[in-house]
Structure 1
Amino acid sequence: MKLRTLTTAIAMTVASGGLVAVSALDNTAQAQETFEWKLVTSWPKNFPGVGQGPERLARLVDEMSDGRLTIEVFGAGQLVPGFEVFDAVSEGTAEMGHSASYYWKGKAPAAQFFAAVPFGMNAQEMNAWLHYGGGLELWNELYDPFGVDVLTAGASGVQMGGWYNKEITSVDDLDGLKMRMPGLGGEVMQRMGVAIVNMPGGEIFTSLQSGAIDATEWIGPYNDLAFGLHQAADYYYYPGWHEPTVMFEAIINEEAYAALPADLQAILRTAVRDVNQDVLDEYTARNNDALETLINEHGVELRRLPDDVLAQAKEHSADVVAELAEESELATRIHDSYRAFQDKVVNYHTISEQAYYNARNPDASTD
């Protein structure tokens, strides 16, 4: 506001009791106030897909706010380790984080429902539940005791079954393997005789190459090619029963968010929603090209997981999910909401998405 305009506004307001002047001054000061945030992630800096999402978020917010809110993005280990993102945001070390909620199962076991449920909903279905089925409200209720808010900030789509240094011909071949697999899928594999090791993405390649682990899952061809996992394992398996998608999260310190003017809050929410779709779009666009590169240029052996492995995984998954639902009253409500929505959306997708796929590719086979 120009000085002349501001002076006129003050003079007019004095005559009317002072209220308008105070409002004009407050609004002007608020519009000019700037905020500098830190965003910590569980991914390597600028990693394709999931690592690019936070970078896009920072650019969008800067552009949309005309520089009033700037966000500096830190990759895993640059400011805090990848598995300490939640604590950093909760404690105010960073105003924002980008990660996946199953990493916090030690703090809030039910958080795993919002990342990936074995044989559960895919990305399209999860987004519908979270945004129109009450899922996001339950997620925020779960995080309330930690002083953070959460928004969905990307999805991987259906993942791959993993990289193995030995051929898997039956469920017996899993016994004794050391494998990196987080979340509920890891618990299922543990019940199938696998020793589960949890580690950030940046440590996977060296651990697989050195023999510290015998197998791993990461995300899918696009990211697996970027990590060079084909150089450390011989067999690449599908389908990703354990993670029909992973929903990535933007976690925000409640006090930092409350300190933002309403328009910057809206800009932040809008930018996160844009990134949520953009990350999934990128994976959808890039995964097949990356898979063809792995097979045709690097000689990767693509294999389907044996039927007995999938059958046993599904059986154990039902037990693991049921047990998680009993962790707390809130976990029960989250589980019930998730299952009720899945039942409805599966019914519809059977006559829509699945029926269409069958009609489009009647002779398709994945064997």
Structure 2
Amino acid sequence: MKKLIGKLGVISVLLIAMSMTVFANQRVYKLKMATTWGKTASPLIDTSIKMANLAKVMSNGQLIIRVDSASKHKAPLGILDMVKAGQYDIGHSASYYWKGKDINTLPFTSMPFGMTAAEQYAWFYHGGGLELMQKTYKIHKVLSFPGGNTGVQMGGWFKKEIKSVEDLKGLKIRIPGFAGEIMAKAGALVTNIAPGELYTAFERNTIDALEWVGPSMDINMGFHKVAKYYYTGWHEPASELQFIVNKRSYKKLPKNLQEILVLAFRLAAYDMYIQNYDMNAKAWQKMKKEHPQIKVKSFPEDVKKLLKDSNKKLRESMAAKSPLLKEIFKSQEDYMQSIREWTIISDYQYIKDNL
């Protein structure tokens, strides 16, 4: 010890001893997180794991989050209830899964013909979206934060080309949620089939078309082997996942760990967006090379008009039943109107002018 003091000085030794004591006395907070995703559902499950790792590193090991995939807790669509009840401290899922419990949760994932991912992130963090999300989830006694975006989801795989609105009538299609209601109004026969049964149903003509996500996730499902028409997106232009936090669990954390947790959410969410963008690009190149028969199509103008008209009527009907939903819709509409002009003269025009 004398030699050490001689080399470093008394003050240095005292500082080292103090820092070691502080570190030893730091309380470790252990939280449990349930996800909707299975162990192989990349990049969705990746985002849950990255968030937990970020929280651990930024907190110097004070914040430890155990991630349970759907295969462990067996309730992929029960995340909100489990977090609300305190069975789990955190959940990673998607807000529109709870529309049956609370219709006001629907717009925080994505809305047909709505904002792009960049626009929607701007709305969340600079346009009042995050405040509206907390207002919505307050009744459930949880906090909710953006949890990762898939970007524009493709309009789906179709065995036959859609040339007019007549081709939608009687079309058997798997497409869930709000988009499914719109398709039903357009005359399609909408169904929802479990993911594990989709390929078989598609291959055996139980359904004529289906919507999943995009190349990065579709390629593993093999839909491109069954249908050659791949339609561009309209229904989920910016599908945002969510991190849900039990309020009691959150309040038990020291202020600095609360900030670290929220920052880990934000970093992991954006990382998922760019990871999925990269995965989509690579998967599309593989699809195109191995299955050159695939034709990327956009719906004809009369179909798009019908879908937009149906979307407008459904939104008006839903908003009339909920003042909060009406407030959320208006906030999104106003923000999109203000930001879309910049999107057009920047990203859109750049791509259009330099193809």
Please say whether Structure 1 and Structure 2 have the same fold, judged by a TM-score greater than 0.5: yes
Report whether the alignment pairs 1:167 with 2:136.
no
Kept in 1, the 8 Å contact 2:83–2:244? The answer is yes
Separation in structure 2 between the aligned mates of residue 31 and residue 219 of structure 1, nearest angstrom: 47
Matches within 5 A, 1:7-46: 32-46=26-40
The structure-2 alpha-carbon separation of the partners of 1:165 and 1:39, relative to structure 1 and needing over 3 Å to count, comes to farther
* CA offset digits 1:63-117 (Å, max 9, x no partner): 2223322222222242032211111111112111111111111111121211111
* CA offset digits 1:177-216 (Å, max 9, x no partner): 3333233212111111223333564554344345554322
Report whether the alignment pairs 1:251 with 2:244.
yes
Partner of 1:282: 275
RMSD value, Cα: 2.3
Partner of 1:305: 298
Q: After the TM superposition, list the runs of 4 or more consecutive aligned residues in structure 1 that deviate by more than 3 angstroms.
A: 27-31, 198-214
Which residue among 82, 96, 101 is the counterpart of 1:107?
A: 101
> Residue type matched to 1:74 in 2?
D
Report whether the alignment pairs 1:156 with 2:168.
no
Kept in 2, the 8 Å contact 1:179–1:196? The answer is yes
> Residue type matched to 1:283 in 2?
N
> Residue type matched to 1:187 in 2?
E
Matches within 5 A, 1:189-268: 189-198=183-192, 201-209=195-203, 211-231=205-225, 233-268=226-261
Partner of 2:46: 52
- State which drifts further: 317-326 or 253-262: 317-326
Kept in 1, the 8 Å contact 2:232–2:296? The answer is no
Which residue among 314, 331, 336 is the counterpart of 1:337?
A: 331
Count of matched residue positions in the alignment of Structure 1 and Structure 2: 335
Q: Give 3-state SS (helix, strand or coil) of 1:352's partner.
A: helix
- State which drifts further: 205-214 or 87-96: 205-214
- State which drifts further: 274-283 or 234-243: 234-243
Kept in 2, the 8 Å contact 1:53–1:275? The answer is yes
Q: Give 3-state SS (helix, strand or coil) of 2:267's partner.
A: helix
Could you tell me the percent identity over the aligned residues? 36
Q: Give 3-state SS (helix, strand or coil) of 2:70's partner.
A: coil
- Aligned-pair CA distance for 1:235: 2.9
Separation in structure 2 between the aligned mates of residue 76 and residue 201 of structure 1, nearest angstrom: 14
- Aligned-pair CA distance for 1:328: 1.1
Partner of 1:12: none
User: Where do 5+ consecutive residues of structure 2 fail to align?
Assistant: 1-17
Kept in 2, the 8 Å contact 1:95–1:252? The answer is yes
Partner of 2:15: none
The structure-2 alpha-carbon separation of the partners of 1:90 and 1:203, relative to structure 1 and needing over 3 Å to count, comes to farther
Partner of 1:270: 263
* CA offset digits 1:227-246 (Å, max 9, x no partner): 33324x31342211001110
TM superposition score normalised by structure 2: 0.87
User: Where do 5+ consecutive residues of structure 1 fail to align?
Assistant: 1-23, 362-367
Q: Give 3-state SS (helix, strand or coil) of 1:249's partner.
A: strand
